[in-house]
Structures are given as C-alpha cells and as structure tokens.
Structure 1
C-alpha cells in the first residue's frame, strides 16, 4: 500500500504598496495554517508596488521556503494578481 502524498495548501495574497505590513501579514498566515496538517505555501503577488514590498517578501522567502514571491512590473489589479498566483 502506498502512502498518500501530503496535500499542498497554497494561499495567494495580492499586494500593492504593502511594505509596512506585509511581513506581519505573512507571519499571521503562516502561524495560523502551520498546524493544518498540509504542506503550505504562501504566494505573494506584488502588483507593481513602488515601496519595497517585493524586497520584504524576498527577504522573508530566503528564510522560509514556504514563502514565494511574484512581481509585476506595473499595477495590473487585484484580479490579475490572484490569477497569476
């Protein structure tokens, strides 16, 4: 009998100019879902931010491989960011 592979839960978070609070938001998401019994990834889609949001996401992803970052070169809107994630 083969074991079932662990399920993966992906949380997609669109972000635009969220540098001051993005680290806290990611920490809250990871902490809340860490005990759910599934593999977890948090995908932050930077929707053309100009305030250092993506740099903060990149710093966090270096420390925690469950955190992923995507970056748009300009603002495409929340719907596009969600679809990209």
Structure 2
C-alpha cells in the first residue's frame, strides 16, 4: 500500500479501483491525503496511467458544512474514477 503509516482508505482505494469495470465508474469520498500523501502515490499513478480520474472536487469542512461531526479543518475529496 505504499510508504508511511497504513491507513485503511489506501486499501479501499485499491479495492474500488479493482472492482470497477473497464467501462464503469465509481464515485467515492476520500480524505485529501489520498490525493497528496506519499503513501498514496502508487495508487494515484495507477489511476493516472489509465487516465481514469473523471472528476475531483476538494471540500474543506469549514464550520462543519460537509460533515457535522468531523473536525472543521478536515478536508475531503469527492473523486470519480
């Protein structure tokens, strides 16, 4: 799953990718680190090699507008593969 501390989102990222048909699509909510952390680089590269990032939207949880019970500083990514 790459370098750094193991995070479950990394395993799910790979699994989402494996389960998606060649002509299919999947939309997922991921932590921002899926798009920026060194440990996620192999996954990002695999997606980029296939040209499969259809859409990426980054949301900062300011004042809890995205998720009420999540720290306001937390940033999530809405990713369509």
- Structure-2-length-normalised TM-score: 0.38
Structure in which a larger fraction of residues adopt strand: 1
- Structure-1-length-normalised TM-score: 0.37
Structure in which a larger fraction of residues adopt helix: 2
Q: Whose Rg is larger?
A: 1
